[in-house]
Structure 1
């Protein structure tokens, strides 16, 4: 399998679909797949034809986290090196990408795989999918920004419990506790996830990017700082072509044709 084969890529109607493609090991990450995902995310950031990104997994799993066979061999990198070189750049690329990213969790999401999903803007899952903070079961700590995003999504008490016990959370439970956005039945999951991505791709994606940037800073800023940032980004949004198109469409009582500009 070549470097590029570890991630399947397609682009249709403004949606770039990135599919983790090591189904024989539940899409667990090795170095090649991690670097390939970084490359694809950089490409999505630069390609104006990409208006939204849909991240999913091939086969029965979304992602089982790190391939432990690679991490424990005689010539293996240190675990900390794997985190710094593989996962940290992926998480930063996801959050800095000025386009919406939807994680379509098609099966188990464990360890770094769970936290990869939680770093995306929206997470949808099959009703049969599950999430596991598996790190404690092998004596590690949650990485891939799990300790950053999970407490913010579900609160410190629940996050602490899930990270320390390593208990499995069903997709339905994850939705109920606010960890993810929605669940979909098995037979309609792929179509529903793609429809959501296409909906976002057809929206004023400059404005969505500004919203994402504001959300990135909201937990660090004071109220007054966040209000100042909202004013800054509202000025930027008000200067976009999509804002002009949205106002004209509203006045003319027609559907807007946003172009992400």
Structure 2
């Protein structure tokens, strides 16, 4: 049985590890996508999970598509309609699943994130990187286009001009430049990457799980809706949040810590 994704849970934090290190964790030519979708569905159904960390085993985060699988798709007897369906029912399900996941996802980019590997990191809410990481929207180097949503994701993170530069040249950038461009929020030494990711996950997990889930959903909706529509949705979500046990407990905690009001004499 294949085990391309390792699923580990400690408390309310799940770590998903891309686990095909000998081939540098490709997303195709194996069962990686199917296993990631299964893991995401498992997280989605488990209310005890508050945060997810996504990382790669070995020296790479993910180098994207598998060359041998590309050779199969290039074959003269590979029908165009079937290749299209492979994308629609395969890797294109991944950005939809990650985008719609209510809990925050932190990408701990341990090494190269190339092509679809970069796009996978972009699907996550927060990205932190090892000093050894590098990033490339490298599809054009293979005569391809971002077939997994990268053209939508990357420009929303780093802006149109920089996304165009990465997409049209296919050239890699360092983790330091990725931080300057806002692609990652932090760069740390390799040995500090997972402790840093776990510390960040813990800082998120201590907050109200319903509030964090609703906040992520609100931020997702804000990407494509009008302000007045978002305000209406915010009012509805806030009404829900006011009725949660987490909100009541938090307010009670603040009230109990507050100093007694002064009385005039």
Give the alignment's TM-score, normalised by structure 1.
0.91
Contact 1:31 1:86 in 2 (8 A): no
Quote the residue 2:176 is aligned against.
172
CA distance in 2, matches of 1:28, 1:76: 21
Q: Which has the larger radius of gyration?
A: 2
3-state SS of 1:62 partner: strand
3-state SS of 2:251 partner: helix
3-state SS of 2:53 partner: strand
Write the deviation string for residues 204-245 of structure 1: whole angstroms up to 9, x where unpaired.
Answer: 121111111111121321121122221121112212111111
Q: Does 1:26 align with 2:24?
A: yes
CA distance in 2, matches of 1:92, 1:115: 12
CA distance in 2, matches of 1:23, 1:210: 35
Q: Find the partner of 1:231 among 232, 235, 242.
A: 235
Aligned length: 252
CA distance in 1, matches of 2:150, 2:256: 46
3-state SS of 1:34 partner: helix
Q: Find the partner of 2:92 among 85, 88, 91.
A: 88
How far 1:143 moved relative to its partner? Answer: 2.8
CA distance in 2, matches of 1:219, 1:198: 26
CA distance in 1, matches of 2:90, 2:70: 12
How far 1:79 moved relative to its partner? Answer: 4.4
Aligned in 2, Cα 1:79/1:170: closer, same or farther, shift over 3 Å?
farther
The 5 Å alignment of 1:114-193 reads 114-193=118-197
CA distance in 2, matches of 1:245, 1:83: 46
CA distance in 2, matches of 1:83, 1:236: 37
Give the alignment's TM-score, normalised by structure 2.
0.90
Quote the residue 1:59 is aligned against.
58
CA distance in 2, matches of 1:239, 1:88: 36
Q: Is there any run of 5+ residues in structure 1 with no aligned partner, and where? A: 255-261
How far 1:31 moved relative to its partner? Answer: 4.1
CA distance in 2, matches of 1:143, 1:183: 28
Quote the residue 2:261 is aligned against.
none
Q: Does 1:36 align with 2:24?
A: no
CA distance in 1, matches of 2:154, 2:69: 27
Contact 1:16 1:54 in 2 (8 A): yes
3-state SS of 2:60 partner: coil
Quote the residue 1:17 is aligned against.
15
How far 1:24 moved relative to its partner? Answer: 0.6
3-state SS of 1:87 partner: coil
3-state SS of 2:207 partner: coil
How far 1:124 moved relative to its partner? Answer: 0.8
Q: Is there any run of 5+ residues in structure 2 with no aligned partner, and where? A: 259-265
